[in-house]
Amino acid sequence: MGSGQLVAVFGAYGHTGKFVVAELAARGFVPVPSGRNARAVQELADEHGLEARVASADDATSLDRALAGAVAVINCAGPFATTTGPVIEAALRAKIPYLDVAAELEANLDTFTHYRKRAQEAGAVIIPAMAFFGGLGDLLATAAMGDWTKADEAHIAYALSSWHPTAGTRLSGAVSRERRGDVRLRYRGGQWERRTDAAPSLQWTFPEPTGVREVIGEFTMADVVTVPQHLFIPDVTTYMTAEAVRDVASPHTPAPTASDESGRSDQTFLVDVVVRSGGAERRATASGQDIYAVTAPLVVEALDRVLTGRTKIVGVASAGEIFDAPNFLYALTPHITLDLHPHNT
């Protein structure tokens, strides 16, 4: 448990940030809400009896003040293309671990590219995409691999009952599209491809009761960044149910609304991971409620493991690379339902 340790949460008043603050408090940490919106930071701090620290990504001094005395920082503030670099720099100055919940491919790639060497040399821990997208799929793929040292391909398929995006999701998506232009990214043959054709529509057979669903193939999410960072798999593909793609693409889809006292929406998810090597196939799945809310136990469990030394490496790392993936996933069973029994077919 956190035993009263201070943890800075940048972007704490956002939809996901509020879940992270609540999870930190529940596990005995003392969250330090931070962000550029002074009123929103103060309101959240007052609600929980916490200290508010106003800070902006373009003001290094304010970030240093926000992180003062903290044992780590969790970055929940999108667009991460703008916040990731400055907050990582502040964490390095403070000599504390950095974790984020970024699902932006470009921001994730930038973190691995620009900070890998510096973090290793400094003995620092930087974990990007420690969230539903990026972290969970990576942990499942790592668990599915089992004793395999390499595989031919990994497939991560998402079945969402619906996808009501937060304001942060919409903003991050807009920033990614602006950076990427009219291309989409695909990971094949151990390298990134920039494609201009339409992503394929096909069918995926999820475990029952979900069953066969129409999905958009090559709907590239953060897992396609995190998995190849440490698993020798040259082809990594993510898929999203077609209804969810239509939801997130429509400007008329409302934001998620709370359906219980914790603030979770009633939207459900199933993540189905298949890795293949030669003629063999292994699988791992996870299901649960609310993709934004489940990010909180993911990132806070990661933080607790970093602070208690339950890690394999230092530097910039994917979830499955730095943690014992099956053990980590079983620790999440109060929040998700798992099937971690890889089988060969």
Amino acid at residue number 72: A
pLDDT of residue 345 exceeding 60, the answer is no
CATH 3.30.360.10 occupies which residues in the chain?
133-291+329-339
Dist CA 102 CA 114 (whole Å) = 16
- Residues forming CATH 3.40.50.720 domain(s) in the chain: 6-131+296-322
Task: Give the pLDDT of residue 1.
Answer: 65
Is the pLDDT at 31 greater than 50? The verdict is: yes
DSSP per residue, 273-305: EEEEETTEEEEEEEEEE-TTTTHHHHHHHHHHH
| Phi-psi label, residue 181: left if phi above 0, alpha if psi -120 to 50, beta otherwise | left
pLDDT digits (tens, 9 = 90+) for 42-68: 999 999 999 999 999 999 999 999 999
The CATH number of the structural domain formed by 133-291+329-339 is: 3.30.360.10
- CATH architecture, domain 6-131+296-322: 3-Layer(aba) Sandwich (3.40)
From 154, 214, 224, 215, select the one nearest 193 (Cα to Cα).
Answer: 224
Mean pLDDT of the chain: 95
H helix count then E strand count, the chain: 12, 16
C-beta of residue 102 within 8 angstroms of C-beta of residue 76: no
Cα 249 to chain centroid distance, Å, stands at 20
Query: What pLDDT sits at residue 182?
Result: 81
Q: What is the pLDDT of residues 207-254, one digit of tens each?
A: 999 999 999 999 999 999 999 999 999 999 999 999 999 999 999 999
**182: how many CB neighbours lie within 10 A of its CB?**
7
